[in-house]
Amino acid sequence: MGHMCKSHNLGSRVRRQHVRLGVIWFALTLVLGFALLERGAAAHFGFLLALPLAMGSYCLLAGSFGVCVYNGVQGRRHANHGSEMVPDETLRRRLVHRGLAYAGLSCALGGLGALAFVVSV
């Protein structure tokens, strides 16, 4: 159980902020999608939804699992009391790999969501 508690690099406060930011990105995606539909440009510019969808997905994944790729690459853990270095090299590499996996997953989800939007219009 102790291993799982230390396998993240975001504290609870930063995790909550990531979840809130993810919800904001998804709201922006909805607004952009409705605007494209109203203007009749959804078929041509629907791919623009990929960026806010990917950002929202990444923020929700980072907030849910507590792993940020940026902090992982820099070898830091952003705890509630501030930033600190991750001393264990294997844990640092594992955090980088998990962060990159979440970033890749969020890009794939953003692209698939935008593709589904364009195809459905």
* Distance between CA atoms of residues 60 and 108, nearest Å: 14
* Distance between CA atoms of residues 88 and 107, nearest Å: 29
Contact in structure between 112 and 102 (CB atoms under 8 Å): no
Report in angstroms the alpha-carbon separations of 38 from 28, 67, 76. 15, 37, 44
Domain extents for the chain? Answer: 2-120
Residue pLDDT tens, the chain, 121 long: 344 445 788 889 999 999 999 999 999 999 999 999 999 999 899 999 999 999 999 999 999 999 988 888 888 888 888 888 888 889 888 888 998 999 999 999 999 999 999 998 8
Q: What is the pLDDT of residue 21?
A: 97
Stated as kind and residue range, the H or E segment containing 85 is strand 82-85
Q: What is the pLDDT of residue 78?
A: 84
Q: What is the pLDDT of residue 6?
A: 58
Q: What is the pLDDT of residue 80?
A: 82
Contact in structure between 33 and 42 (CB atoms under 8 Å): yes
Q: What is the pLDDT of residue 74?
A: 86
* Distance between CA atoms of residues 103 and 59, nearest Å: 9
